Amino acid sequence: MKQKIVLATICLVSSAAHADSSVTLYGIADVGVRYSNGLNASNAPITSHSAAAVSSGVNNTSRWGLKGQEDLGSGMATVFQVEGGFNIDTGAAAKSDKLFDRISLVGLQTDYGTLTVGRQATIMADAISPVDPLGMRYASFNPNITLTALSNTDFGRHAFGTQYGTSGYNDSYYRLDNMLKYSASYGPVKARLTYSAGEVAGNSEALSTSGAGLSYEKGPFVVSGAYMNFRNSASLGLDAYTLGTAYNFDRLTVKANYGYNTADTGANSQTRTRVSSLGVSYLIHPALLLTTAYYRAKRQSTGFVEDGFDRVFTYLEYSLSKRSTVYLEGDYTKWKGDAAGVSSGQANDTRGIGVTLGLMHKF
């Protein structure tokens, strides 16, 4: 089956030059050698031990995809995109159950906006993208991606433990199946609307999602925000909000964001999570970029001790070319409350530190 898919992909790309539509093959290959203390190879807290690992996606998630469009005339075009993540250190797919786990959509683009249908990142992710202090780097460890945009809400001694929306996974709702997303620009303002059908027979509310986002971008100034409501199979709700801003002072860029979500995890239980973040990027010279970012996460949950963490990142990136970048990354995490959890009945270290030397190539 996989061989047939690969063959079909090759045929599609090779025939693109003979079709009216344009098709582009693209991707990112990112790998680094990482040393950490108080964290395991997956960056989960452990007892006071160090770990060495070869890690994929410490700067940008390794991925490959195809995208294209066909001009229909009169300002209209059909568009499509499929994209899958992979771990370059092992060659394994990021999600074993989905070939295109990141994006799988088709849509219609007009002068009045674009409507896309399929598996897509939520408008929470869209809203955070231009204002995340880390620039959406290190997706698996970036609190604005994991907590504000809900790609991995499980940390510490408890988790939501249920699927909200149509992501297909417990505690991960960054991308949703069956999504309709509409976006339109009006000068410097961009509006987004989204709905995802839960497809539960007899209960149209279960596993459904809806939301709206708005951003303003003019010159060096950006402000961006969004709201989404998710439902689980029992129609319990999760409400998520995000609001951030960015300003570019020539070689210096400052970004800040605040995220908040509240989830009904049971008839009489609720979890509230807040994430505050601030960061700066400074272009030392055209090929050398320094980025630092600080995140504070706080969580309150019925029946548990209040917990959270503070996390700091630093990236020094040197562009070898337009497509290739070598980088040095460092991070420090201070866990609070019970957030560090336990391993084999022993409390984990409340501090974690990591350093990565990596190479990223875009194609």
Query: Tens of pLDDT along 205-236?
Result: 999 999 999 999 999 999 999 999 999 999 99
Per-residue confidence (pLDDT) for residue 48, from 0 to 100: 75
Q: What is the mean pLDDT of residues 91-112?
A: 96
What is the predicted pLDDT for the residue at 47?
A: 86
| Least confident stretch, 178-182, 210-214, 274-278, 347-351 | 347-351
Quick check: 12 pLDDT over 80?
no
Q: Hey, what are 355's tokens? A: 């350093």
Beta strands 269-285 and 346-347 are unpaired
Residue 14 confidence (pLDDT) above 50: no
Segment 41-65, tens digit of pLDDT? 999 999 878 999 999 999 999 999 9
Strand ranges in the chain using DSSP code E only, listed in sequence order: 22-39, 45-56, 63-73, 76-85, 103-110, 113-121, 175-186, 189-196, 209-218, 221-231, 237-249, 252-266, 269-285, 288-301, 307-319, 324-336, 342-343, 346-347, 351-362
Strands 63-73 and 76-85: antiparallel
Mean pLDDT of 55-79: 97
Confidence (pLDDT) at 343: 83
Which domains are seen in the chain, by residue range?
32-362 (2.40.160.10)
Contacts by 142-147 with C-beta closer than 8 Å and gap 24+? 142/295, 142/313, 143/275, 143/277, 143/295, 143/297, 143/309, 143/311, 144/257, 144/259, 144/275, 144/277, 144/295, 145/174, 147/259, 147/261, 147/273, 147/275, 147/297
Residue 342 confidence class, pLDDT cut points 50, 70, 90: confident
